[in-house]
Structure formats: structure tokens, C-alpha cells
Amino acid sequence: MTEAVFRETTAEPRTQSVPLAHLSLELGHLYMEDFEAGPERLREHFAEVRVWVDAARAAAARRTGGKRPRISTCFLIDDYFTRFSTPAELVPVVLEEAERAGLVIDYLARESGCAVADKIELAEAVMHRLVESPPPGSHGSRPPVSQTGWLANGQRSPGSRSAMGEITGWQPPQETAARNHSVFMDVELWSEKDGQRLWSCPFLAAVWQLARLGLLRHLGEPVLVPRPWNGRDFPHEWDRLPPLIQLNPTAAPFSAYRTCTLMPNRFLAVEDAVRLVLDQIDVDSGALKQVAERSAREGAAVPEAVAQRATYVFYEEPAGAVTAEES
């Protein structure tokens, strides 16, 4: 006799799927100092980016077997660390300078939306999905990332005393997956002042990559979802602008199998840190499965490692541009 098995539907939450393009092409991720430098700085940026856009599109077409790939473009504005001007004054200038270079921005996002979007603490949720890779020979003396706010890709250089209190000589840090030699990184994910947590640029950028890759969920629901913008005037306050807006009604989907980011070379260290973070996130398994199945059906297989799905083009900035120290 076969026994019937009853389950509550709420016990098996479903992961809602999102539409996916082949490539999410980011045309800019600049600090407020860049905007403060005036339209000329944006003009230089988009002129340089335009040189590489065709190459990124050609690479996407090659991966799809010569078929026309679905490609969407996006632009991220930093309104989290500093706030300059207003959306009403700034966004039209960005769109105008992009158009001058022959570029169309399909989606525009606010960096603060990577911290909190639609009252959902996105950065906090992603932080709780971090799974640190234990270095070989580690003995649990290092506090977890949830306490320290620091994430490493290996074993930090130990102090002058061992766990047994013995005085030891200096020992170098060790990368967990080193090939011949270590490239050790230790990334600060947040800082705190007066009880307020300030998320770091690399960590917010990791959240941004997960959204662009269609892998960000909250209780199975997609988050940081683009809202259509009807072309009306932009608001005079940043908090009145949705975290992510769709400017081009005919654009390909915002999220994609792969991402490509075109940016100044001063962001190289930041994006190295982003990849370290992505390598240690327990990404929603339902979202990963959906992407794998759909990309396989399309013949557009993606790398198994999430960090490998993000690519970059770093260009050399002209003299007088904002430096990493200034930003």
C-alpha cells in the first residue's frame, strides 16, 4: 500500500526566474569626483569606452555561434559614499554625453540600491551567504567574517605567538589556491562608525555583479529589478529615484549570462576584490540551476564559477583624471 505524502507548499519555496540577455555591458561606474569634473570628463570616458564596445559585442556574438546576441547596457552612479548634484541635473548630462559618443544606456542604477533596495537589506543578505574557504592548516583562531568584516583568499600571516603561546618567527601569508606562488588578498567588506555600517565599494560591486548575472534573490524573489522610466523629468532628490530604472523600453533584459564592465584602470584593485568576494558566496542554488539550464538550451554555456562570468576592460585614463587616492 502506497502512503500519500503531504507537504506544505511554503516548505518548498520556489525561485522565481528572471529574463536573461547574453551580455550585460556596463558603460560606466564612476565616482562623484568624476561628475564634479564636468561634462568634459564624461565625454572623455564615453569616447574611450566607445572604442571597446564593438569588441565586447563581437566577442558575445562569437560565443553565440555568430547569432545576434542579446546585449543590454547599464551605468552605475555612486550616490552611496557621496552625493553630488541631483538626478534632475546629473542624469541628463550622463545620457547626453553617452549619446554624443554613439552609446545608448538601457539601464541606470544607483549604488545605494546595492545596499538597500525596496526596503530589502541586499548587502546584509549577501553578507550572510558568505562561506569562507578555510586555509590549509588553519585552526579556527581567526574570527569569522561576520564579526571582523574582512575576507581573505588564504591564511593571513600569523602573529609573533602561536596558539600555544610560543614565540614564533615571521611567516608569510598563503593563498588557498596558489599556483607555485601566492597572491594574497585581504578585503575589507565594511566599516562602522557611531554604530552605523558603511559597506565597502568592492562588496557593493559584488552585489551589483550578482544582480547583473541574474543570481540575486530574497526569499526566492528577484531583487533590484528594473522599473520602467516613462521619460518624465528626473527627481531633485536621489532617494526619489528608483534603485534601478529602464530607460530604453526596447532593451534586452537587464540580467545576463555574462557581464562585461568598461572602466578606468584605477578600479583594477577594487574589481580584483570583487572577484574574491564572488568566489566565497553561497549563491542561490535555484537561480544557478535556472541559468545553467537556460544557457545550455541556447548553446551559450557559462563558466561554473560565478566570478569567471564577469569580465572587464580597463582603459588608461588621461592626465589630470581622478586618481585612486583621490577617490
> 326 falls in which pLDDT band (50, 70, 90)?
very low
With a cut of 90, say whether residue 184 has pLDDT above it: no
Average pLDDT, the chain: 87
With a cut of 70, say whether residue 167 has pLDDT above it: no
Q: Has residue 177 been placed in a domain?
A: no
The string of pLDDT tens digits covering residues 265-275 is 999 999 999 99
With a cut of 90, say whether residue 238 has pLDDT above it: yes
The string of pLDDT tens digits covering residues 106-140 is 999 999 999 999 899 999 999 999 987 665 555 55
Q: Has residue 326 been placed in a domain?
A: no
CA distance 118 to 317: 35
Exposure string (b/e) for 248-272, b if CB count within 10 Å is 16 or more?
eeebbbbbbbbbbbbbbebbeebbe
For residue 130, the SS3 value is: strand
Q: Has residue 24 been placed in a domain?
A: yes
> 327 falls in which pLDDT band (50, 70, 90)?
very low
With a cut of 90, say whether residue 172 has pLDDT above it: no
Quickly list H helices, the chain: 32-36, 39-63, 87-100, 122-127, 145-148, 201-212, 268-278, 285-298
The CA-based angle 15-281-276, given to 5 degrees, is: 145
Lowest mean pLDDT: which of 104-108, 119-123, 153-157, 244-248? 153-157
- Domain containing 61: what range? 14-127+201-268+283-315
Above pLDDT 70, what percent of the chain?
Answer: 87
The predicted pLDDT at position 36 comes to 85
Nearest C-alpha neighbor of 203 from the set 217, 190, 214, 185? 190
Give the C-alpha distances (Å, rounded to integers) separating 257 from 112, 248, 302.
Answer: 24, 20, 7
Q: Has residue 72 been placed in a domain?
A: yes
> 153 falls in which pLDDT band (50, 70, 90)?
confident
> 185 falls in which pLDDT band (50, 70, 90)?
confident
Give the C-alpha distances (Å, rounded to integers) separating 299 from 166, 201, 282, 290, 294.
Answer: 58, 34, 26, 14, 9
Q: Has residue 113 been placed in a domain?
A: yes
Amino acid at site 195: G
With a cut of 50, say whether residue 325 has pLDDT above it: no
Q: Has residue 277 been placed in a domain?
A: no
Counting the structural domains of the chain, the total is 1
Q: Has residue 18 been placed in a domain?
A: yes
With a cut of 60, say whether residue 164 has pLDDT above it: no
CA distance 325 to 327: 5
The predicted pLDDT at position 318 comes to 65
Task: Enumerate residues 6+ apart whose C-beta is below 8 A from 248.
Answer: 104, 105, 106, 107
Contacts made by residues 192-201, CB under 8 angstroms, sequence distance 24+: 192/149, 199/80, 199/114, 199/115, 199/123, 201/81, 201/270
With a cut of 80, say whether residue 16 has pLDDT above it: yes
Q: Concatenate the DSSP letters of all residues of 35-73 into one string.
A: HHT-HHHHHHHHHHHHHHHHHHHHHHHHHTTTS---EEE
The predicted pLDDT at position 155 comes to 77
**Nine-digit cell string for 314:** 580597463
The predicted pLDDT at position 321 comes to 58
Between 128 and 179, name the one with better pLDDT: 128
Amino acid at site 255: S
Give the C-alpha distances (Å, rounded to integers) separating 70 from 53, 78, 255, 264, 308.
Answer: 14, 27, 11, 25, 19
Task: Enumerate residues 6+ apart whose C-beta is below 8 A from 193.
Answer: none
Q: Has residue 218 been placed in a domain?
A: yes
> 6 falls in which pLDDT band (50, 70, 90)?
very low
